[in-house]
Amino acid sequence: MKLFLASGNAHKVAELQELANAASLPIEIVSAKAVGGMPEVAEDTGTFVGNARKKALALRAKLPAEAWVLADDSGVCVDALGGAPGVESAYYAGPQHDSAANLAKLTAVMRDVPKGMRGAQFVCVLVVAGPAGAEEIFEGACGGELLGEPRGGAGFGYDPLFVPTGFAQSYAELGEEVKSTISHRARAWAKLAEWIKARDTR
């Protein structure tokens, strides 16, 4: 099965293809670039599902009727901030999508929030859109707490600030090997993988 990825990020194609290969899934991830580029999409629906759907349908509209498209949206939702930055995680500190500035802002905003009130969860939504309006939504979440100061050098984005439940180290200290078994993205992906496997044997 070919899945066209509704993203302008080349790194995501490689990452998702690796996940597919690791799960022995019979899929080929194809970049939006290979089919003329990802159309400009305003991520303005206010929800992870809405934004992912919008990206999937925008790319699908450019492709043949039988094509299947995959889109994702993700972010960190902080309890003490009423779920912010949430869908705005990528541009929390401004439209330049600067991850170091985003991390610094969240660290500063949370500085005076006491331990015990620092709960947060990462969320990842994957949407698959196919022929005749076919659509599947897979959601994964990973709960935990935010540290007072960033710790660890691995990963990206808010990884150094987030300690998943059941662990003493941040995502950035745990590294990809552990993160890829417990993360919001891994959990959403596991559901997508189940769906692909079931579909393949139907």
Give me the residue whose beta carbon is nearest to ligand IMP: 157
17, 31, 89, 170: which one contacts ligand IMP (CB under 6 A)?
A: 89
- The alpha helices in the chain, defined as continuous H runs, are 10-22, 48-60, 99-109, 171-182, 184-200
Marked catalytic residue, from 72, 73, 79, 98: 73
Start-to-end Cα distance in the chain: 14
Restricting to residues 91-120, name those near ligand IMP by CB under 6 A.
99, 102
Would you say 196 and 19 are in contact if contact means Cβ atoms under 8 Å apart? no
- Closest to 179 measured CA to CA, from 19, 12, 32, 8: 19
Determine which residue in the list 31, 74, 121, 170 makes contact with ligand IMP, applying CB under 6 A. Answer: 74
* 157 is a contact residue toward ligand IMP (CB under 6 A): yes
Establish if 31 lies at the interface with ligand IMP (CB under 6 A).
no
**Residue 7: CB minimum distance to ligand IMP, A:** 7
Radius of gyration of the chain (CA): 17
Q: Could you tell me which residues come within 8 angstroms of residue 71 by beta carbon, excluding any fewer than 6 positions away? A: 5, 6, 7, 52, 53, 55, 56, 59, 126, 127, 129
- 73 catalytic? Reply is yes
- Indicate whether 158 belongs to the interface with ligand IMP (CB under 6 A): yes
Applying CB under 6 A, among 22, 34, 156, 194 the residue interacting with ligand IMP is: 156
Q: Does 75 bind ligand IMP (CB under 6 A)?
A: yes
Residues in contact with ligand IMP by CB under 6 A are 72-76, 89-90, 99, 102, 122, 155-159, 171, 183, 185
Residues taking part in catalysis: 73
